[in-house]
Amino acid sequence: MQFTAEMIAAALNGEVVGNKDASVSTVSSIDGGKAGSLAYLTNPKYEQYIYTTEASIVLVDKSFEPKGEVKATLVKVENVGECVLNLLEMYNATKPRKTGISKMASINDDATLGEGCYVGDFAVVERGAKIGNNVQIYPQCYIGDNVVIGEGTKIYPGVKIYEGCKIGKNCILHAGAVIGADGFGFAPREDGTFAKIPQLGIVIIEDNVEIGANTCVDRAKTDATIIHSGVKLDNLIQLGHNVEVGANTVMSAQVGIAGTTKVGSNCFIAGQVGIADHVTVGNGVKIGSKSGIDKNVPDGEIRFGYPALPGVQYHRSFAVFRQLPDMAYTLRALEKSVKVLEEAKEK
């Protein structure tokens, strides 16, 4: 679908500078813009590209005044960042929506599907599953016995949802995600082998949660592993059994959280963070990348490092740490000087 500059300006309460009939059908970065694309300038350091971009339309702030000739049509708006988000949502809404049940899908007679659902080739929906209205299940997904999926949820190819798990409304599960595999529970025996501890709980994912590709959320030993509303999980994340993640918390790739840990709401957890078992992380906590958390973290705290330290303490420690090579050189020089003085004193 094509949008003209005039249509975009009307939707965003903006002002057209240039050809109001210029049209676009896709979005691009300003440095890689091509004819027929919409670009945007949100960071001043990219202003140089606005004079060379091939993009047909560029969104800019109302305060922007070009320092040279701009070939593209400009649409001036109050807040470029917010407007780009709105436009992307508008564009996404125009994309055709998949519907219909593939003849090559396997749907148990005891499963229930709501209206307007899509089920792709080789998807499997087992006994007792309850699928809400307008759910999209892409090819090669597995929906286990008695799984519940809320309306409007989208499940991309290769997702596996084990028996009994519950997925809320308007969630997105990306390709390869595994929901409800057994938690990592084993009891050591006297002979050195391990006995498997049955994992009898489920996973509950509330509304508006997005789970990245190949992310795994283990089922609980008892009760439930719970992901509350609005949580956003990146690719390649591991959440252990009985973990609970509070509403609107965000995690970047390769985070690993061990069993029975509780993470509060509105937290920001950067990539490759590891959190030990039975730890409580408060609300509004921020944890820097590659940090290791082995103790409880109070509400609103910032943590960096391994083992993680409070933000200010970490930066003070790092200021010392990065000087260690020079300090070691100075120490060796002092040792030599002391040795010379001691030898002189003995003489």
Domain positions in the chain are 3-94, 100-312, 318-347
Q: Give pLDDT, residue 323.
A: 79
- Which structure tokens are listed for 279? 């730890």
Between the two ends of the chain, the Cα-to-Cα distance in Å is 94
Write out pLDDT tens, residues 270-295. Answer: 999 999 999 999 999 999 999 999 99
CB 242 within 8 A of CB 225: yes
Q: Is 315 a catalytic residue?
A: no
The better pLDDT of the pair 97, 58 is held by 58
Above 90 in pLDDT, residue 6? yes
CATH top-level class of 3-94 = alpha beta
Q: How confident is the model at residue 127 (pLDDT cuts 50, 70, 90)?
A: very high
Q: Sign (positive/negative) of CA torsion 115, 121, 125, 126? A: positive
Q: Phi then psi for 335, rounded to 5 degrees?
A: -60, -40
Q: Where would I find the beta strands (DSSP E) of 215-311?
A: 216-217, 224-227, 232-233, 238-239, 244-245, 250-251, 256-257, 262-263, 268-269, 274-275, 280-281, 286-287, 292-293, 302-304, 309-310
Q: Give pLDDT, residue 2.
A: 84
- Amino acid identity, residue 211? I
Q: Give pLDDT, residue 343.
A: 75
CB 135 within 8 A of CB 152: yes
Q: How confident is the model at residue 225 (pLDDT cuts 50, 70, 90)?
A: very high
Average pLDDT over residues 223-246: 98
Please, which residues have CB within 8 angstroms of residue 63's CB and are 6 or more apart in sequence?
none
Q: Tokens 């509060």 label which residue?
A: 264
CB neighbour burial string for 65-89, b if at least 16 within 10 angstroms, e if fewer: eeeeebebbbbbbeebeebbeebee
Beta bridge partners of 262: 244, 280
Supply the pTM of this predicted model: 0.83
Write out pLDDT tens, residues 161-170. Answer: 999 999 999 9
Q: Which strand (E) or helix (H) includes residue 334?
A: helix 324-346
Residue 300 CB coordination number (10 Å): 13
CA distance 200 to 182: 9
Number of Cα atoms under 13 Å in the Cβ half of residue 184: 12
Burial class (CB in 10 A: 0-12, 13-18, 19+), 249: buried
Above 90 in pLDDT, residue 345? no
| Percent of residues, the chain, with pLDDT higher than 90 | 78
Q: Give pLDDT, residue 36.
A: 94
Q: Give pLDDT, residue 347.
A: 66
Burial class (CB in 10 A: 0-12, 13-18, 19+), 311: middle
CATH homologous superfamily for the domain 100-312: Hexapeptide repeat proteins (2.160.10.10)
User: Mean pLDDT across the chain, nearest whole number?
Assistant: 93
Above 90 in pLDDT, residue 53? yes
DSSP letters spanning 249-273: -EE-TT-EE-TT-EE-SS-EE-TT-
Q: Select which of 174, 241, 278, 315 is catalytic.
A: 241
| Percent of residues, the chain, with pLDDT higher than 70 | 97
Above 70 in pLDDT, residue 309? no
Beta bridge partners of 277: none
Q: Which strand (E) or helix (H) includes residue 85?
A: helix 80-94
Above 90 in pLDDT, residue 156? yes
Q: Give pLDDT, residue 311.
A: 65
